[in-house]
Amino acid sequence: MNLTIDNHPVIARDGETVLECALRHRISIPHLCTHPNLPPFGACRMCLVEIDGLRGYPASCSTPAAEGMVVRTDTEALRELRRKILELILLEHPSACLICEKKDLCEKYRPHSIKAGRATGCHTCNNKEVCEVRVLSENLGVTRLPVPPKYRDLPLERSDPFMDRDLNLCILCGRCVRICKEHHGHATIDFVQRGGKTRIGEAFGRTLLEAGCRFCGSCIDVCPTGSLADRYAKWHGAPAASKDTTCNLCPAACAIEVQTNALGRAVMAKAVNGARPICALGRFAIPEFLNSPSRLLAPMARFGDALREIRWDEALALAAEKLRFCAGGAFAFVCDTQSSTLEDRHVFQRFTREVMESPNYIEIEPDERGVARATLPHGVRAALLTGDFLDEAERASLELLVVMDCHPSLASRNAAFVFPAAVCAEIEGTCVDGKGEHRRLVKACEPPGKARPDWRIVADLAKAMGAGGFAYESAAQIAAEAGLGAATLNSEPEESPAPALDPRKRRTHFRGRRIDSVVRGLRELPVVRETGETGDKRVFPVGHDKGDLRASAGKTSQSPVSLED
């Protein structure tokens, strides 16, 4: 279909609205209630346009494009109408900073928001740098309000895990309600009460947790103000950079966008494809998991009863000297298929078989909760682990234990050497999802301290032992050597992952350690697991099944493992 928008001839696609067509051709039309992942709504009236042959000012978000249309989006009448509409919207939104005559001077000397419990203006709003209302106010030249604004003085809601809600900032655009219905079939939240008392909330005054929220974070992603905020990310402002990568905390392997600050540290993660929700792990857990103060930051060696930080070259040399006396069947390498990339596992196998000359390369397939436990072959006296995969008796039977991990664990506390590992969005590589597809891991943020990728640690250890052929420079070089095929991001999933629709089905462990021991908000979400021989499903509060989960075993392979298994 051919039509004209602001004197520009454009071509519209079948089923496209005037707004969609305009935005696709980079013609800006102000809008608030509209979002790319939502169907037309026509509530805010900011996207009004003039169309020849049509009376009044139709909303472009809900007006289908038609052959021969002549559309005007930026006349003085439209600007004045939008300005009046926005002024009415701002009557119940903290707007002092938006219309302040000293705004420019304030911005010069106070460019970032100030941390405060309650937002009373842009200078205390966590969403200041990306607020859509703020952008519209500046573009339309709003400098006054027709009547004094009213502050609603609603209580701040901070009782739910992961998110804060300040409904005093809400403009009732309905995006959060609609995205919840769009993703889950029905909304956990909705418009409550009527008239001037209308707000967003849950039925019967329940919390999000009590109302069955899935904590996919989609409502936060579409909110145009600071009303809904990611509790961990809210004070970091606009990201300095972002990259798309894969979440490898579970087999769904969702494509996520990891946003980083100026230091290269992850501050927020969200779905690449906003049309599909992701689970609480992918949406909220990754930044907190990666930035936890408990992260292992430097290599450590045991001197007497204490682990002490030492330089990488010293740690590798000392570990290499100890391992030389444990070659052959006395050595075992244990990793899991969830946290270790295919490139990691290729290097691990080579190290075990070529350097240590041992048949004991053990890959564990975690169970449905991510729990991975291994049993060492008879005669093993030394082991190199990439996580907490052994029980206490087996750890105690070892003469030498070397651990590569990202957080302290029972294994690392008993190890002779501990090497800090980079994980998840801190590394490059290839992982395998639950359907057997190769998914690409992209380094989206910097690892903390002196942490290194697993493959690099093992390659450096092999070189310290005098082995050749381990001079790898990148994961891509290892992938080429291993003959790995192309890997892709799962950015167009056919369906939403099960944990996104029911957070009780999420994985609870990573590298043998409970994820909620680091990500505190997960402790409030219950889990579902099978019990007994009948496979019945029962719901347990987090922590109730701690002993059972740690004792359950995944599929363990103690024979030679190929990367295709």
Residue given tokens 């493992």 in the structure block: 561
Contact by Cβ (8 Å): 47, 34: yes
Strand 255-260 vs strand 241-246: parallel, antiparallel, or unpaired?
antiparallel
- Round to whole Å and give the CA distance between 558 and 484: 23
CATH code, residues 2-74: 3.10.20.740
Q: Residue 360's CB: how many other CB atoms inside 10 A? A: 23
Write out the DSSP string of 159-179.
Answer: -SSSEEE-GGG-----HHHHH
Q: What is the structure's pLDDT at 208?
A: 92
Q: Residue 60's CB: how many other CB atoms inside 10 A? A: 29
3-state SS, one letter per residue, for 194-223? CHHHCEEECHHHCCCCCCCCCCCCHHHHHC
Q: Which structure tokens are listed for 175?
A: 């995006």
- Round to whole Å and give the CA distance between 338 and 167: 40
pTM for the complete prediction? 0.89
Residue given tokens 């800006």 in the structure block: 28
- Round to whole Å and give the CA distance between 326 and 400: 9
Q: What is the structure's pLDDT at 544?
A: 39
Q: Which structure tokens are listed for 234?
A: 């809210």
Q: What is the structure's pLDDT at 529?
A: 60
- Round to whole Å and give the CA distance between 175 and 194: 18
Contact by Cβ (8 Å): 425, 269: yes
Nearest to 529 by CA among 560, 495, 552, 500: 552
Q: Residue 152's CB: how many other CB atoms inside 10 A? A: 15
Q: Residue 232's CB: how many other CB atoms inside 10 A? A: 21
Q: Residue-wise pLDDT tens for the chain (565 aa)?
A: 899 999 999 999 999 999 999 999 999 999 999 999 999 898 899 999 999 999 999 999 999 999 999 999 999 999 999 999 999 999 989 988 998 888 889 888 888 788 887 888 888 888 888 899 999 999 999 998 988 888 889 999 998 899 999 999 999 999 999 999 999 998 899 999 998 889 999 988 899 999 999 999 999 999 999 999 999 998 888 899 999 999 999 999 999 999 999 999 999 999 999 999 999 999 999 999 999 999 999 999 999 999 999 999 999 999 999 999 999 999 999 999 999 999 999 999 999 999 999 999 999 999 999 999 999 999 999 999 999 999 999 999 999 999 999 999 999 999 999 999 999 999 999 999 999 999 999 999 999 999 999 999 999 999 999 999 999 999 999 999 999 989 999 999 989 999 999 999 999 999 999 999 999 999 999 887 644 433 444 444 544 333 333 333 334 444 333 333 3
Q: List phi, psi (to 5°) of 538.
A: -135, 150
- Round to whole Å and give the CA distance between 474 and 493: 29
Q: Which residues lie closer than 8 Å to 544 by C-beta, 6 or more apart?
A: none
Strand 2-5 vs strand 70-72: parallel, antiparallel, or unpaired?
parallel
Q: List phi, psi (to 5°) of 249.
A: -80, -15
Q: Which structure tokens are listed for 117?
A: 């419990």
Domain ranges for the chain, please list them: 2-74
Nearest to 408 by CA among 307, 522, 523: 307
- Round to whole Å and give the CA distance between 535 and 422: 36
Q: What is the structure's pLDDT at 331?
A: 97
Q: What is the structure's pLDDT at 109?
A: 86
